[in-house]
Structure 1
Amino acid sequence: MVNAGCVFLVLGVGPLHKFTAGTFDEIAADDTDHERLAELNKKYGMLSLVELVLMVAIVATMSGMRWGLLIPTVVHSEICTSGFTASITI
């Protein structure tokens, strides 16, 4: 399975850098092409939305693991003379 950090690294270094550099170059140009600038902003926005969805998925996964929704939970516990014991079903 692909690590989410690697996905963010590829998205951040590759296309986002390209769109950001293109936007800066277009703004700094003497004759700014507003149509190209709008196109770059649209692509940048879509890629940002993809990153947002990935981040929400990561937070949801981490929250589910924290709350015990995605990992085995304690289903039976009992106190015996030696202390607290718990059995976990996998």
Structure 2
Amino acid sequence: MIESAGSRFAGIGTLLFLGAPIAAYLSGDARIMFYVHVALGAFWFGLDFFFKFVLGPSLDEVADEVSGTVNQYLVPKMALVAEPLSVGVVGSGIGLAEMMGYFNSPSIWIHGALGVSALMLLIGFGPIHFTTAKMSVELSMPEPDGERIEDLFGTTMKWGLVQTVLMLLIIAMMTGIRWQI
């Protein structure tokens, strides 16, 4: 996938999405960590919704050749953005909770947020990763099997919708955390 997306693209994305939370945490300033967490979270949330509710349905309406060409370049880049982004969001959330003292006396919201975060990472690095990797390999074939790609895309979308529901749930939990201050 790195070859398909480009090593420079993969490196910059990984550096940005993992480096920003690390730098924010090392700064020791909870405000910086808060803004990094919110920015990364908003990007992940926006990317998730754009892909599922705008780009995906749009690609369903164009000719298979067009959709296949777009997906050949899109799928590897999406995977290489989503994975370090998800780790960056979860890591910055954990770092922020620690900086704000939420682990000193963890509430049900903290336990819930940690559980949902772990589940989101398991889904992202489990079934979503494997189906997008298979899709990327199929798309790189000289004559990709459109039916296989459609099945893999459908599976990825189903797991992705679970991720979307979990994102909405964790936002609700973070609202509960914020009300406890």
- Say yes or no: TM over 0.5: yes
Counterpart in the other structure of 1:29 = 141
Relative to its length, the structure with more helix (as a share) is 2
Q: Select 1:59's aligned residue among 155, 166, 171.
A: 171
SS in structure 2 of the partner of residue 29 of structure 1? coil
Look up the match of 2:124: 12
The structure whose residues are more often strand, as a share, is 1
Per the normalisation by structure 1, the TM-score is 0.66
Using the TM superposition, give the Cα deviation of residue 66 of structure 1 relative to its aligned residue in structure 2, in angstroms.
Answer: 2.5
Question: Partner amino acid for 2:165?
Answer: V
Deviations 1:2-27 (A, max 9, x none): 71221122111111111111111110
Note if 1:42 corresponds to 2:154: yes
Code of the residue aligned with 2:167 in structure 1: it is M
**Residue ranges of structure 1 left out of the alignment (5+ in a row):** 69-90
**Aligned-residue RMSD, C-alpha:** 2.0
Counterpart CA distance in 2 for 1:64 and 1:3 is 15
| SS of residue in 2 equivalent to 1:14 | helix
Aligned length, in residue pairs: 69
TM-score by length of 2: 0.35
Percent identity reads 34
Q: Deviations over 1:32-85 (max 9, x none)?
A: 1000101111111111110010010010122134346xxxxxxxxxxxxxxxxx
Higher relative contact order (CA 8 A, sep 6+): 2
Where do 4+ consecutive residues of structure 1 move more than 2 Å? 64-68
